[in-house]
Amino acid sequence: MSWKSRQCAISVSRGERPWWAGWLCVGLVVVALAGRRVDGAETGDNGELTPPARQGSARQDSTQINSVFDTVSPPADSIRDLFYLVTAITGVILLLVGGMLIYCIIRFRQRKSDRGEPPQLYGSQPIELAWTVAPLLTVFVLLMVVIRTVADTRRPEIKKDAEPVRVRVIGHRWWWEYQYPDYPGLTTANELHVPGSAKDRPRPVHLELESADVVHSYWVPRLAGKTDLIPGHKNMMWFQTEQEGVYRGQCAEYCGTQHANMLIRVVVDSPDTFKTWAAHQAAPQQVDPQFAAGLKVFMERTCVNCHAIRGTEAKGTVGPDLTHLATRKTLAAGAIDNTPEKLAGWLRDPQTDKPGCDMPSLRLTEKEIQDLVGFLGSLD
Ligand code: HEC
Ligand SMILES: [Cu+2]
């Protein structure tokens, strides 16, 4: 009997799928894999470059790819290593079990000469022992490495000469608030600045995570794993890196309509640059009298109820602290770039850029918008 007719005989006799169904599945998998390759190619060959078409936009401005495999910080490293180990172990098991299965299917398939049932065997102590002990050992090894990784990601190795940086991260729908307890007054939003480490000068970053409303999750894949921000409960996480640059992240726990626009930018500066940045950010805002008109609109058009600008009367806490706003690269948690045009658009109607967000459309006049854009743009 030819191969094809045997296939047909089987499918007809058992009323199963037609012979080409299997090939269709294989084809679909190949197409899916090819699609993925195209996706990957778009991010650039060396894994570093942003595709030119998207360069300059708030979401893609970083030169770093947001990959869990391209790690630069100990907690992220240990999670990646755990992934490789678990994949290797389970891969070997898959090959063993799959291999034996395929071997048995082919080696012991029904032959023409077979009559009746094959011999039935019951109980084999060696086999029973093997399939009890082997999984036990495997599970034990996996458990141990998981416990180790969890411990690694929870607490940093305490080194004597380490100079930790502490930051309080408060998740809001749909933006991030950062407070630096070691720099009194320093409150900023959405863009986290931290110093990089050097071999002889480790600068671990300790984040204390809280939420103002619902559960959010802090995730910057190249620096650390996800940690939830839970209302009424403090969580800790840490990271440390010697590689300066911008790292992108994202809220990783669905928290409402604008969850996808709750992006994170972590800027790792040289220790000196960070020190200058922190001192500048902690200082109250100097308002240039040239922009008094804008400040007046700010105070009169309810902005002041929700936003604080340290050094002025504005002390609202509903929205982001706008002190030194002009030093930020993006607005509204990475939803838009911080440019005069985008800022004007935001003030015209925040609900267009970020539908459902907690800043209402205030129906400002064009004159008020221009005054505000000038004023906010001067907050450097
Ligand atoms: C009802 C409270 C409320 C009022 C009133 C309000 N805002 Fe906002 N504002 C917010 C919230 C909340 C956000 C964060 C939105 C987000 O990213 O989801 C925000 C974001 C912003 C941002 C972006 C800040 C950043 O760092 O991303 C700017 C700029 C801003 N508001 C300016 C203004 C101005 C100017 C006014 C007055 C015309 C105003 N806001 C009135 C609540 C308010
Ligand atoms: Cu969130």
Residues 136 and 244 in one domain: yes
Model confidence band, residue 122 (pLDDT cutoffs 50, 70, 90): confident
Atom of ligand 1 nearest to the CA of 368: 38
Smallest-distance ligand from the CA of 295: 1
What angle, rounded to 10 degrees, do the helices at 292-300 and 366-377 form? 110
Q: Is the pLDDT of residue 57 over 50?
A: no
Q: Is the pLDDT of residue 123 over 90?
A: no
Check pocket membership of 304 for ligand 1, CB cut-off 6 A.
Answer: no
* Inside any domain, residue 282: no
More confident residue, 288 or 2: 288
pTM > 0.85: yes or no: no
Residues 145 and 105 in one domain: yes
Centre a 10 Å sphere on the Cβ of residue 5 and count the other Cβ atoms it contains. 9
Span 188-222, pLDDT tens digits: 999 999 999 988 888 999 999 999 999 999 999 99
Residues 9 and 100 in one domain: no
**How far does residue 251's CA lie from ligand 1's centre (Å)?**
19
Tokens (6 digits) for 92: 């070997």
Atom of ligand 1 nearest to the CA of 325: 26
What is residue 163's predicted lDDT score, i.e. its pLDDT? Answer: 85
Q: Is the pLDDT of residue 53 over 60?
A: no
**How far does residue 322's CA lie from ligand 1's centre (Å)?**
9
| DSSP 3-state of 235 | strand
| Long-range CB contacts for residues 259-263, cutoff 8 Å, separation at least 24 | 259/174, 261/174, 261/332, 261/333, 261/334, 261/335, 261/354, 261/357, 262/173, 262/174, 262/175, 262/176, 262/216, 262/333, 262/334, 263/58, 263/59, 263/190, 263/330, 263/333, 263/334, 263/335
What is residue 55's predicted lDDT score, i.e. its pLDDT? Answer: 38
Residues 261 and 193 in one domain: yes
- Give the range among 11-25, 193-207, 342-356, 359-373 with minimum mean pLDDT: 11-25
Tokens (6 digits) for 61: 């401005």
Span 61-82, pLDDT tens digits: 444 457 899 999 999 999 999 9
Model confidence band, residue 51 (pLDDT cutoffs 50, 70, 90): very low
Q: Pick the last residue of a domain from 224, 249, 275.
A: 275
Residues 176 and 65 in one domain: yes
From first CA to last CA, the distance across the chain in angstroms is: 83
Percent of the chain with pLDDT over 70: 83
* Inside any domain, residue 336: yes
How far, in Å, CA of 288 to CA of 375, rounded? 8
Structurally, the chain folds into a number of domains equal to 3
How far, in Å, CA of 83 to CA of 73, rounded? 15
Centre a 10 Å sphere on the Cβ of residue 245 and count the other Cβ atoms it contains. 15
Q: Is the pLDDT of residue 59 over 70?
A: no
SS3 breakdown of the chain: % helix, strand, coil, rounded to 5? 40, 15, 40
What is residue 18's predicted lDDT score, i.e. its pLDDT? Answer: 66
Residues 296 and 352 in one domain: yes
Give nearest CA residue, ligand 1 atom 17.
332
Mean pLDDT for the stretch of residues 306-325: 93
What rounded mean pLDDT belongs to the chain? 85
Identify whether the C-beta of residue 278 lies closer than 8 Å to the C-beta of residue 191.
Answer: no
Give nearest CA residue, ligand 1 atom 1.
359
More confident residue, 349 or 49: 349
Residues 298 and 361 in one domain: yes
Q: Which residue's structure tokens are 């992240």?
A: 249
Percent of the chain with pLDDT over 90: 68
Span 141-193, pLDDT tens digits: 999 999 999 988 887 666 666 788 999 999 999 999 999 999 998 999 999 99
Phi first, then psi, for residue 218 (nearest 5°) are -90, 120
- Out of 173, 265, 306, 371, mutate this one to test ligand 1's pocket (max ligand atoms within 8 Å of CB): namely 306
Mean pLDDT for the stretch of residues 267-282: 95
Check pocket membership of 306 for ligand 1, CB cut-off 6 A.
Answer: yes
| Structural domain for 59, as ranges | 51-109+125-275
**How far does residue 251's CA lie from ligand 2's centre (Å)?**
5
How far, in Å, CA of 258 to CA of 264, rounded? 14
Mean pLDDT for the stretch of residues 346-375: 94
CATH assignment at residue 337:
2.60.40.420
Q: Residue 304's closest CA among 372, 252, 249, 256?
A: 372
* Inside any domain, residue 312: yes
What is residue 72's predicted lDDT score, i.e. its pLDDT? Answer: 92
More confident residue, 33 or 249: 249
Model confidence band, residue 40 (pLDDT cutoffs 50, 70, 90): very low
Identify whether the C-beta of residue 57 lies closer than 8 Å to the C-beta of residue 353.
Answer: no
Check pocket membership of 354 for ligand 1, CB cut-off 6 A.
Answer: yes
Eight-class DSSP state of 259: G
Q: Is 160 exposed, middle or buried (CB count within 10 Å of its CB: 0-12, 13-18, 19+)?
A: exposed
- Out of 307, 363, 364, mutate this one to test ligand 1's pocket (max ligand atoms within 8 Å of CB): namely 307
Residues 188 and 70 in one domain: yes
**How far does residue 258's CA lie from ligand 2's centre (Å)?**
8
